[in-house]
Amino acid sequence: MEIVIISLTAFLASILTFFSGFGLGTILTPVFMLFFPVELAIGLTGVVHFFNNVFKVFLVGKNADKTVLIKFGVPAVIAAFIGAWLLFQIPDSQPLFTYEMMAKTFEVYPVKFIISILLIIFASMDLIPYFNTLKFGKEKLPFGGFLSGFFGGLSGNQGALRTAFLIKAGLSKEAFIGTAVIVSIFVDFTRLSVYASKFAKSGLTDNLTLVICATLAAITGAYFGNKLLKKVTLKFLQIFVAIMLIFISIALGAGFI
């Protein structure tokens, strides 16, 4: 059942990526968390995200802006390494806090709580009008790259901050998409190289079938997303997804999942 749910989510989220500049990692991570521990869920999402971006590079990578790529991408890669390393340093052996509700005890662990807060922040960016008018000059690109890469390494969610900076950098739609894809793949490669040391212990190799199915679904979604890029607006769907993400994040942070 998890293969069907995760693959369908990967397909739909991958389509969204072409319109929002983010989506796959943000949506897929909490869905993986429904079935796997946090660290493994982030790692599995990272693998799917990486290979999906490899496919997208062939579709739109040629449109990337080289100057922006260097200013934004280099700090993002450095910060992604720091964030990925930090993920495995956060103590998760003891609950951050526990509470009882309806005669049941819920335990909230540090990593899950931090990830839930991050997901709420990223999802809220689609719901707060302030972020629609926020502007960032090119001189702030290194700072934006660092923030995006750090949270990408720590939580697997880099797209919302990346979009917030790159969409305001004066790029054409094609250049924005191409640049975002290449930055994303560099960050994915960096964080996966750090996660790799934990994969054998956490169980990635035991879930290869799931990873392959989810990756193929995401690639298929990317293909259709590219076809629909100039024809469809998905603002309502983006808002709907953001609201659902907040509910999932609250459940995660509260220890329900």
pLDDT digits (tens, 9 = 90+) for 128-168: 666 666 556 677 889 888 988 888 787 766 676 777 677 77
pLDDT at 72 over 90: yes
Closest to 126 (Cα-Cα) out of 21, 28, 225, 56 = 21
- Parent domain of 117: 2-253
Closest to 155 (Cα-Cα) out of 86, 94, 202 = 86
* Contact assessment for residue 31 and residue 251, using Cβ atoms and an 8 Å cutoff: no
**The pair of three-digit structure tokens given for residue 91, joined into one six-digit string:** 């103590």
- Give the number of other CB atoms < 10 A from CB of residue 70: 13
Q: How far is CA 1 from the centre of its chain?
A: 23
Closest to 80 (Cα-Cα) out of 146, 3, 163 = 146
pLDDT at 59 over 70: yes
Q: How many domains does the chain have?
A: 1
Closest to 184 (Cα-Cα) out of 34, 67, 24, 44 = 24
